[in-house]
């Protein structure tokens, strides 16, 4: 099935329900300029009212959350001149640039050379003079989304979900656990216990999605590079460390003062 209209035409088309319910974030007004679908692919060109880079990035974030997909930057164009405020091309993160010819042979490789892409352009709205553009949507719907939803891998299976990025909300939860002196392993144990309480019967599916349940390796990396931990150490624990060293020196415990951390 294919639905489309030229940008010079004023005809509007009813959005396919599957496109709206499965793929598109709620709370936005859409205009469908092009749309085609087959058994495995969906291609669409949409227009939205977003006018800023921040709102465009927010739409991308909500799109990834709704579709449970992860997108990486393929190419970002400079927003210079009078035409565009923002222009970025994204690819599915299962399309990676391998460094060696044997990288894809690893059991943990996520690369499938996935062809799915998303291009987002925010046109600059001109108000100081009459626009000479023939684009009929330029004034009211300046954001263009070109969607090629043609993943060559299952989107909702555990082998795919385990590669998703951990959410900021989950990351902040772990940073608080580290502040409470948890190790990465105990923090993960506590988090999974709380997760089981929140999800109840659905908990069996939650650990498969890395967005809400990170792996232990991520926990170790986050603790090692935690800015919160560093700030906490500098402003609170560092003073305690030097107090202990002074006490050791005062009591002639030179060895402890030198070797203690």
Last residue of a domain, one of 91, 120, 155: 155
For residues 6 and 99, membership in a common domain is answered with: yes
- CA nearest neighbour of 38 among 81, 91, 82, 1: 1
Q: Please give the residue range of the domain that contains residue 246.
A: 160-259
**Backbone φ, ψ for residue 71 (5° rounding):** -115, 145
Band (8; pLDDT cuts 50, 70, 90):
very low
Q: Are 69 and 41 members of one domain?
A: yes
Task: Report yes or no: 145 and 118 within 8 Å, Cβ to Cβ.
Answer: yes
Report the domain count for the chain: 2
3-state secondary structure of 30: coil
90 class by beta-carbon count within 10 Å (0-12 exposed, 13-18 middle, 19+ buried): buried
Its pTM stands at: 0.67
> Tens digit of pLDDT for each residue in 110-160?
788 899 999 999 998 876 666 666 676 777 899 999 999 999 888 877 777
Residues 184 and 136 in one domain: no
Q: Which two tokens stand for residue 144?
A: 């263009």
Same domain, 165 and 150: no
| CA gap 152, 155 in Å, rounded | 9
Q: What is the pLDDT of residues 66-78, one digit of tens each?
A: 988 989 998 887 7
DSSP for 133-157?
A: ---TTTTT--EEEEEEE--SS-SSS
Distance between CA 58 and CA 64 in Å, rounded? 10
pLDDT band of residue 5 (cuts 50, 70, 90) is: very low
Helix (H, G, I), strand (E, B) or coil at 29: coil
**Tokens 């909300």 appear where?**
169
């Amino acid at each position: 099935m294919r639905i489309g209209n030229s940008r010079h035409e004023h005809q509007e088309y009813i959005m396919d329900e599957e496109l709206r319910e499965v793929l598109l974030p709620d709370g936005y007004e859409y205009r469908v300029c092009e749309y085609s679908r087959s058994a495995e692919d969906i291609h669409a060109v949409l227009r939205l009212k977003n006018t800023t880079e921040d709102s465009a990035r927010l739409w991308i974030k909500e799109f990834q959350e709704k579709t449970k997909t992860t997108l990486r930057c393929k190419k970002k164009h400079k927003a210079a001149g009078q035409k565009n405020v923002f222009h970025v091309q994204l690819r599915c993160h299962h399309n990676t640039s391998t460094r060696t010819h044997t990288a894809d042979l690893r059991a943990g490789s996520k690369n499938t050379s996935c062809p799915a892409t998303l291009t987002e352009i925010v046109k600059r709205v001109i108000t100081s003079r009459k626009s000479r553009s023939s684009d009929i949507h330029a004034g009211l719907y300046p954001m263009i989304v070109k969607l090629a939803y043609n993943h060559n891998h299952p989107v909702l299976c555990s082998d795919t979900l385990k590669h998703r990025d951990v959410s900021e909300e989950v990351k902040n939860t772990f940073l608080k656990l580290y502040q409470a002196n948890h190790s990465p392993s105990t923090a993960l144990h506590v988090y999974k216990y709380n997760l089981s309480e929140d999800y109840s019967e659905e908990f069996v599916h939650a650990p498969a999605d890395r967005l809400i349940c990170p792996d232990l390796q991520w926990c170790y990396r986050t603790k090692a590079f935690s800015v919160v931990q560093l700030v906490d150490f500098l402003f609170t624990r560092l003073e305690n460390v030097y107090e202990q060293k002074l006490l050791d020196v005062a009591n002639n415990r030179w060895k402890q003062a030198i070797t203690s951390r």
